[in-house]
Amino acid sequence: MRVLAKTRQVSRRNFLQASSVTVFGTVAIGSGGMLLDPKGAWAMDLQSLQPRTMATLIQMARDIYPHDRLTDATYAKAVSGYDDQSATDPKTKHLVESGVAMLNERAQSAYHADYVDIGWEEQRVTILQGVDTTPFFTTIRAGLVTSLYNQHDIWQKFGYEGASADKGGYIHRGFNDIDWLGTTATATPTAAQGAKS
Question: pTM for this structure?
Answer: 0.68
Q: Of residues 128 and 39, which shows the higher confidence score? A: 128
Q: For 105-118, what is the mean pLDDT? A: 95
Whether the CB-CB separation of 154 and 74 falls below 8 Å is answered with yes
As a whole number of angstroms, the distance between CA 44 and CA 53 comes to 13
Query: Tens digits of per-residue pLDDT, 121-168?
Result: 999 999 999 999 999 999 999 999 999 999 998 988 887 777 777 777
Q: For 36-54, what is the mean pLDDT? A: 74
Q: Which residues contact 18 (CB under 8 A, 6 or more apart)?
A: 10
Q: Which long-range contacts (CB under 8 A, 24 or more apart) does 35-39 make?
A: 35/76, 37/72, 37/73
SS (H, E, C) 76-117: HHHHHHHHHHHHHCHHHHHHHHHHHHHHHHHHHHHHCCCHHH
What's the mean per-residue pLDDT of the chain?
Answer: 77
As a whole number of angstroms, the distance between CA 151 and CA 114 comes to 29
Q: For 85-93, what is the mean pLDDT? A: 94
Per the rule left: phi > 0, alpha: psi between -120 and 50, beta: everything else, 39 is alpha
Q: Which one-letter amino acid corresponds to residue 184?
A: T
As a whole number of angstroms, the distance between CA 110 and CA 23 comes to 20
Question: How is the chain split into domains, by residue range?
Answer: 49-151
